[in-house]
Amino acid sequence: MACKSLLLAVALLGLSGCAGMPRPAVAPAAPIAAETSPVAGMAANPIVYFVLTDRFLNGNPANDRSYGRSPDGDKEIGSFHGGDLAGLTRRLKEGYFQRLGVNALWISAPYEQIHGWVQGGKAEFKHYGYHGYFALDYTVLDRNMGTAEELREMVDTAHAQGIRVLFDVVMNHPGYLDIETATQLSIPVLWPEAAQKYTLSDYHGWIDYNADKQRWAQWWGGDWVRAGLAGYREGGSDDFSKQLAFLPDFRTDNAQPVGLPPFLAGKSDSRAKPLPNATVREYLVSWLSDWVREYGIDGFRCDTAKHVEPASWQALKTASNAALADWKARHPRKKVDDAPFWMVGEVFPHGVERDDYYQQGFDSLINFDLQDRKLDEPAELDRLYSEYALALAAGRAGGRTFDVLSYLSSHDTRLYRRDRLMQAGSALLLAPGGVQIFYGDESARPAGPASAGDPQQATRSDMNWASPDLAVLAHWQKLGSFRARHVALARGSHQRLSQMPYSFARVLGQDRVVAAPFATGAVEIPVQDVFRDGEKLRDAYSGASVTVIAGRVKLQAAGTVLLEAMD
């Protein structure tokens, strides 16, 4: 790479030195109403970066093989790759997330996962809990993720930059019982020599699924989960009680007090303690909210939200709100602000509509609609923007506003087309409501290996630090920074201003912007009723300054136009 290109890469990535590199205008309708946002802080304009920590950056190689985990020596589809909390901190310190305008960092669940692997896909690969969805112990960090000190440093570093930290959490299910965990924690349900002889092809043959209930009771126990084993109930058929992907299902609806699961009671490094007269729900809420009270975690992304009864989510929100308030009172110099705890739920295939979930503790829900829309056709994009802005503003005067978190790519669905990330990035980062950047969409991270039985694993490749698409990255940085300055993009009234080039305005109180996401070359954009004649504007994309003359501006567009008033 030439010196000039290398310097550009360093600047765009926000790294220190070489660290980590290897038709005619349509006249507008009536003037746009000036409204004010009913919420403040990050909740008014969520710009959330979702990262699978293990696949992002290895900041501390010493923790890579915790609990005896090892590479599979093949495609490494489901093994731990080494990314950790220290890696996140390094990029935070280098300003990587600030350059993207990010105000919240959603990380994969960092608490302890099952120690070994289970069959992935159709017995095609070794599947570890690198993603955080195979929980073992909710009270301690997974050693692959790092130490308590590293978590505290990461959170404090983020907060110092105005970036909140969100944990991915699961209350629907713990992880499977794998052979390594059963061996290390002495859960007596394996056939002799299982730990030495099991392979990918004969894995389940080494687990005695017909063992009596006394032996299986040494795991979670039938009062805690549905698992269809001796002493355990079968999974149900409704959303709340079914076993997803054969995972044990927490009995969060069980109103009877339970004791600590035997394996946790005997686990020497666990912080789990008996809670008098506590139910399964109360244990889980206590364990999860303790992370908030101890470290100042600002919010949760709640996995499989429709598979847990609403009362559990409300209990989690209430406890976490109190825990965050307590942490902020004790750490006034470390808090971002006094905003309450924030929760976003995954309710597949939820779109942009307000429903009862917003009465159950959720501030936002993931929007599964945007990824499937036509994002590079101006007419279709404007239709989407109008729909979203109207829906999200509905009932504002009555205080029944709501929010959604839109995305392009997801670890559970697919990566957006890698050759369309400029156009799609514009569509996402200029959309009403909250937005979620999936790690690597901003750098055109390529898909990774997968199996026929689990193609979604391809979405979880390693971050492409050595070969980012610098043009895509620069584009996303400009758009993200612009969005971070303008809550009007998330909460404002939307109005199309012209067809050629396609341009629109968003206005919220005194915050007014005009954008033309597909503009190239010499363009003329109407801005009347948004900006005054004689007003000086800045195109945040090209850096050019323009003056409003006769309700219009003329400029040379560099692919996108982002107009804002000059200070």
Residues with catalytic roles: 303, 346
Contact between residue 363 and residue 38 where contact means Cβ atoms under 8 Å apart: no
Task: Give the Cα separation of 129 and 136 in Å (integer).
Answer: 10
CA 320 distance to own-chain centroid: 18
Annotate 224-290 with DSSP letters as a single string.
TEE-SSTTSPPP-SSTTT--GGG--EE-TT--S-----HHHHT-TT------TT--HHHHHHHHHHH
Structure tokens at 30: 């009536």
- State whether residue 536 is helix, strand or coil: strand
Contact between residue 478 and residue 542 where contact means Cβ atoms under 8 Å apart: no
Question: Which among 367, 459, 350, 347 is positioned nearest to 414, based on CA atoms?
Answer: 459
Provide the sign of the torsion angle of the four alpha carbons 152, 323, 306, 374, taken in this order. Answer: negative
Task: Give the Cα separation of 39 and 16 in Å (integer).
Answer: 36
Provide the sign of the torsion angle of the four alpha carbons 384, 386, 389, 391, taken in this order. Answer: negative
In the numeric block, the tokens 């499937």 are attached to 372
Provide the sign of the torsion angle of the four alpha carbons 51, 364, 425, 485, taken in this order. Answer: negative
Structure tokens at 157: 């570093």
Burial class (CB in 10 A: 0-12, 13-18, 19+), 106: buried
Task: Give the Cα separation of 559 and 478 in Å (integer).
Answer: 12
- Where does residue 406 fall: left (phi above 0), alpha (psi -120 to 50 degrees), or beta otherwise? beta
